[in-house]
Amino acid sequence: MTAEHEITLVVNGAARRARVPGRRLLSDCLRHDLGLTGTHVGCEHGVCGCCTVLLDGEPVRSCLTLAVTVDGREITTVEGLAGPGGLSPVQRAFAECHALQCGFCTPGFLCTVTALLRERPAPTDEEIREGISGNLCRCTGYQNIVKAVHRAAELLAEES
C-alpha cells in the first residue's frame, strides 16, 4: 500500500484538500480528486502541453508535476481564467478568432497565452509562435491561434 499524503492546493482562489499517494500526478489530482476536468491530458510525457496550468502564475505541465510537490501553492486552471464579468480577454479572443476546434488542447493554450501576454503584452508574430511552441494542436494549424493571441493583446490593452 502506497503512503498517502494530505495536501492543500489553492486552486482558482479556493483552498482545496486532497489525500494523494506520492506518485499522483498533479493532472490526475486536479481532474480526478478535485473534479476539475478542464485540464486535459494528451501525452503524459510533457510534450503536448494540453495539461498546462499556471503554478503561482507560471505555466507548468501538470502531467510532469507530482501533486505532493505543490502542496500549499497556487494553481490556476482553465476553470479559473474567467472573471466575475465573464470570459477573460484571452478566452474571448479565442472564440472571436475561431482558435479552437475540438477544444482538447485549448485549456493548455489558454493558460500558456495568459502567462505569455502578462510577460509580453504586445508580442510580435514570431514571439507568439515561439511562445506557444510548447503546445500541440492537431486541429487548427495554429493560424487562428496566432490571430487570437494578437486579438487578446488588443483586448487586454483596451481594458487596462
The region of 17-25, 54-62, 66-74, 114-122 touching another protein under the rule CB under 8 A is 17-25
Chain position carrying cell 510577460? 119
Phi then psi dihedrals of residue 131, to 5 deg: -65, -30
Q: How far is the CB of 132 from another protein (least distance, A)?
A: 5
Among 74, 96, 127, 150, binds another protein (CB under 8 A): 96
For 57, 70, 94, 104, the CA distances from 89, given in Å and listed in that order, are 17, 28, 9, 19
CB 34 within 8 A of CB 18: yes
Interface map 53-72 toward another protein (x if CB under 8 A): --------------------
The region of 64-72, 115-123, 132-140, 151-159 touching another protein under the rule CB under 8 A is 132-140
Among 60, 100, 116, 153, binds another protein (CB under 8 A): 100
Retrieve residue 46's grid coordinates. 510533457
